[in-house]
Amino acid sequence: MIETLEYKEDKIRIDNVDLFYRTAGEGKPVVIIHGWGASSSFWEGFINSTKGYKFIVPDLPGFGNTPSPDKVWGSEDYAGIIIKFIDALKLEKFSLIGHSFGGGIALIIVSRLKDRVEKLVLCDAAIVREERLSLRQRVSKFLAHIGSNVISKTPIYPFLERMVYKMAGAYDYYYVKSNPIMRDTFRKVISEDLSHLLVEVNQPCLIVWGSKDKATPVSDAIHFHEIIKDSELKIIKGVGHNPYRKKPEETAEAVINFLNK
């Protein structure tokens, strides 16, 4: 039976945003950045499978208990507020885990805080956007951008929009309850390719991926492993885009073994 750790919930005001976050465990700090449509609570199973580290998991603006921003944001905006959050907590040295959309944010943070991030974990990270898009995905992406203007007034719009994102491989990104600002934020972040930042990773990096991921394919993980010099690759078999939820113990074991080196 997985032991349940004691979680502390708190919030901190940054740039007029009340940023909610959770902490659990004791030891060196590890900041986790969740993916689109997720929150800090999604990581409980993973964290309960670990020991020896203090995990700090903020709810990104627009998710969990943190309110959405008052304007459309991009990945740089999200990275900016998390950097201010890290500074507010006075974390001089820390490791960083980024899943999916959070993986792109983590990559931006690493590029800005090179000397402070000790180790990086990219979990099914959504970093490559443009190069691998098929014709079908490009059409789907185009429909995602114009859909609200063309078909939003029809009764079947919610169904059509969900199908568009599914075709585009954005299973984990479709945030059905999002407000208009978050919908436009979504449309913005899925157009941001951050792969040029991979060469700036100069700390040890673990790339952990679900073998059946359809949103961010395993070919991305292999590509990242080839580019990042000091990297390790761990494929979690039999799971898709969320190995940290579907196989939390196996994913946690790989991460903790990496952090302990």
Domain limits, the chain: 7-131+193-260, 135-186
In angstroms, the Cα distances linking 62 to 43, 71, 87, 180 are 17, 11, 21, 11
In three-state secondary structure terms, 260 is helix
Which position has the token pair 């792109």? 104
Mean pLDDT value across residues 199-213: 96
Q: How far is CA 12 from the centre of its chain?
A: 21
Mean pLDDT value across residues 188-213: 94
Query: pLDDT digits over 51-104, tens only?
Result: 999 999 999 999 999 999 999 999 999 999 999 999 999 999 999 999 999 999
Mean pLDDT value across residues 124-146: 59
Q: What is the reported pLDDT for 208?
A: 98
CB atoms within 10 A of CB 212: 15
The whole-angstrom separation of Cα 21 and Cα 12 is 8
Mean pLDDT (the chain, rounded): 86
What's the whole-model pTM score?
0.86
Residue 214 above 70 pLDDT?
yes
The whole-angstrom separation of Cα 102 and Cα 126 is 8
Specify whether the backbone of 28 is left (phi greater than 0), alpha (psi in -120 to 50) or beta.
Answer: beta
* H or E segment and range at residue 136: helix 135-150
- Answer yes or no: are the C-beta atoms of 19 and 61 closer than 8 Å: yes
Q: Would you state the torsion angle of the CA atoms of residues 92, 19, 12, 45, taken in this order, to the nearest 10 degrees?
A: -70
Torsion sign over Cα 105, 106, 111, 112: positive
Q: What is the reported pLDDT for 183?
A: 80
Mean pLDDT value across residues 139-151: 48
Q: What is the reported pLDDT for 130?
A: 59
Instruction: Find the farthest-apart pair of alpha carbons in the chain and give their distance in angstroms, rounded.
Output: 55
Residue 211 above 80 pLDDT?
yes
- Answer yes or no: are the C-beta atoms of 123 and 103 closer than 8 Å: yes
Query: pLDDT digits over 158-181, tens only?
Result: 565 555 555 444 444 455 455 788
- Answer yes or no: are the C-beta atoms of 125 and 224 closer than 8 Å: yes
CB atoms within 10 A of CB 181: 16
Q: With bands split at pLDDT 50, 70 and 90, how would you rate the model's confidence at 182? A: confident
The fourth-level CATH superfamily of domain 7-131+193-260 is: Alpha/Beta hydrolase fold, catalytic domain (3.40.50.1820)
Q: With bands split at pLDDT 50, 70 and 90, how would you rate the model's confidence at 250? A: very high
Which position has the token pair 């959050």? 85
Residue 138 above 90 pLDDT?
no
